[in-house]
Amino acid sequence: MKKENTMTTFPKGFLWGGATAANQLEGGFDQAGKGLSVADAMPGGKQRMSVLASNDFNWEIDDKKFIYPNHRGIEHYERFEEDIKLFAEMGFKCYRFSIAWTRIFPRGDEKTPNEAGLAFYEKIIDTCLEYGIEPVITISHYEMPLVLAKEYGGWKNRQLIAFYENYASVVLNRFYKKVKYCMTFNEINSAFHFPALSQGMVKSSGAGDFKNIAQAWHNQFVASAKAVKIGHELNPELKIGCMIIYATTYSIDSDPVNQAATMVQNQEFNYYCADVQVRGQYPAYTERMLRNHGTSFDELDITPNDLDLLNTYPVDYVGFSYYMSSAVNVTTEQPDEIAGNLLGGVRNPFLKASEWGWQIDPEGLRIALNELYNRYQKPVFVVENGLGAKDEVVGSMIQDDYRINYLREHIEAMAEAIQDGVDLMGYTPWGCIDLVSASTGEMSKRYGFIYVDLDDDGNGTLDRTPKKSFYWYKKVIESNGDIL
Ligand code: BGP
């Protein structure tokens, strides 16, 4: 689907950039007063995915022991200036990164923040601003303090609302004059399948029980609304978004039974969290969804004041990650299953998949953008997208045409959606510099425009080298999406 017409589609001021998360690139996991996060307690490498899938492990971690590669990341903690300079060379208009909660509140339940942590992020923000790059902050990206998971039982505990409120308030008060965009929780709906990273809940703290997941979500929704309140009181122009995983979901065929199952999966996985965060109220299908999973709205601890907060402080925009689409088939006994970004599904015969089995579907991004924009009528922001691949170093430059093709097709799909009338704010492809993979805990699943010389066992010079996609993306940004 090569774009024929070269008319400018992307609006002036479109936020081209890239995205990362603290726990996946910073390293310095115990530096300058930082506490341990749930991500620090995750095993690196092969065990990571099975641990995530089972939710069955304990949070014990020997804090003297270095786990490769996640405790080291790519040493961005020391090298952020060099990295941001490279982003500036590509012409980034914005850079999405997360603040590690544990650099600011090492345990999570303190009243007073750790100044060294705030100072670190201030340097990152200032460096971005020097290059004319808008910082886009994820307040919480799979890296809540381990103490809140272990001692408080994770997000199902209402006390976390106040801890998050204090944390968000400290961050927003410190940075609201320099930052225009943030989002409250990364991929909040991922807890549907994997509550460990996003809600700090493992089996022993009740992750297997959907009532706990729903309660944890509710507490997060209230915490998110409080962050919106704080942010807007500081600056009504500050844009605070939600952030969900969106996987466009098709029925495998036109059988109404599969269509209905697809509708339900969409409600439960793609929309539930955003419906509350964007519309400010629980959707009509809430009770049925909770009953499907063995609980009910009455069983949750929800106060009238909570519902007021949700209603008064909805988010300003809809941020989402989009990597793949999924299909539903409930009429076949053993449909052919596929893997995916924390959500699997059924194989779609029309699509190819990445090496990790994620089904590549640019057309699905156009659909996602239309669905989200028309459902909520609020600006949308693609804050993650990209192809995880094993890059082969041959000669002096990595020839990652496969990545360029993936991104080009997704940008074309965004252009189509804009022509459909969608108000799209920006595009921040995931892992703009190679970093540690969230699901595999490995370095070798790479997304970056910039290659980082580091392998899964911690060997390598950590040198940064632009890939072919680096120069390609630079042109895309320069031409505001006209040259793909
Ligand atoms: C998203 C997360 C990111 C990132 C990305 C890629 O779910 O928000 O943190 O890791 O997935 O996933 P992976 O590294 O597992 O390929």
Q: How far, in Å, is the centroid of ligand 1 from the Cα of 438?
A: 5
Is 384 one of the annotated active-site residues of the chain? yes
Ligand 1: residue whose CA is nearest its atom 7: 341
User: Which numbered atom of ligand 1 lies nearest the CA of 187?
Assistant: 8
Q: Examine the pLDDT at 340 and tell me if it is beyond 80.
A: no
Mutate to test the pocket of ligand 1, among 358, 439, 443 (most ligand atoms within 8 A of CB): 439
In this prediction, residue 63 has a pLDDT band, given cuts at 50, 70 and 90, of low
pLDDT at residue 342, as a whole number: 67
Give per-residue pLDDT as tens, 158-186.
Answer: 999 999 999 999 999 999 999 999 999 99
C-alpha separations of 335 from 65, 90, 107, 193, 480 in Å: 43, 43, 45, 20, 42
Q: Which residues line ligand 1 (CB under 6 A)?
A: 21, 24, 186-187, 321, 341-342, 384, 388, 430, 437-439, 445
Q: How far, in Å, is the centroid of ligand 1 from the Cα of 273?
A: 19
Residue 408 CA, distance from chain mean position: 21
Ligand 1: residue whose CA is nearest its atom 9: 438
Ligand 1: residue whose CA is nearest its atom 15: 439
Q: Across all residues in the chain, what is the average pLDDT?
A: 94
In this prediction, residue 317 has a pLDDT band, given cuts at 50, 70 and 90, of very high
Ligand 1: residue whose CA is nearest its atom 5: 438
Specify the fold of 15-478.
TIM Barrel (3.20.20)
Question: Average pLDDT for residues 104-109, to the nearest whole number?
Answer: 98
User: Which numbered atom of ligand 1 lies nearest the CA of 431?
Assistant: 4
Ligand 1: residue whose CA is nearest its atom 2: 438
User: Which numbered atom of ligand 1 lies nearest the CA of 21?
Assistant: 9
Give the domain ranges of the chain: 15-478
Q: How far, in Å, is the centroid of ligand 1 from the Cα of 21?
A: 9
Mutate to test the pocket of ligand 1, among 430, 446, 447 (most ligand atoms within 8 A of CB): 430
Catalytic residue, from 26, 134, 187, 384: name it.
384
What span, in angstroms and rounded, lies between the C-alpha atoms of 18 and 281?
Answer: 31
What span, in angstroms and rounded, lies between the C-alpha atoms of 358 and 435?
Answer: 19
Question: Average pLDDT for residues 340-365, to the nearest whole number?
Answer: 90
Can you spell out the DSSP letters for 6-60? -S--SPTT-EEEEE--HHHH---TTSTT---BTTTTSPPTTHHHHHHHH------
Give per-residue pLDDT as tens, 415-463.
Answer: 999 999 999 999 999 999 999 999 999 999 999 999 999 999 889 999 9
For the chain, percent of residues with pLDDT exceeding 70: 98
Q: How far, in Å, is the centroid of ligand 1 from the Cα of 194?
A: 13
Question: Average pLDDT for residues 66-84, to the nearest whole number?
Answer: 92
Q: How far, in Å, is the centroid of ligand 1 from the Cα of 195?
A: 15
Give per-residue pLDDT as tens, 239-295.
Answer: 999 999 999 999 999 999 999 999 999 999 999 999 999 999 999 999 999 999 999
Q: Say if CB 358 and CB 282 are below 8 A apart.
A: no
Question: Average pLDDT for residues 201-224, to the nearest whole number?
Answer: 94
Cβ count near 350 (within 10 Å): 11
**Tokens 């990295």 found at:** 83
What span, in angstroms and rounded, lies between the C-alpha atoms of 427 and 311?
Answer: 28
φ, ψ dihedrals at 246, nearest 5°: -120, 120
pLDDT at residue 1, as a whole number: 47
Rounded to the nearest 10 degrees, the angle between the axes of helix 159-175 and helix 210-234 is 30
Quote ipTM for the complex: 0.96
Q: How far, in Å, is the centroid of ligand 1 from the Cα of 323?
A: 9
Q: Examine the pLDDT at 399 and tell me if it is beyond 80.
A: yes
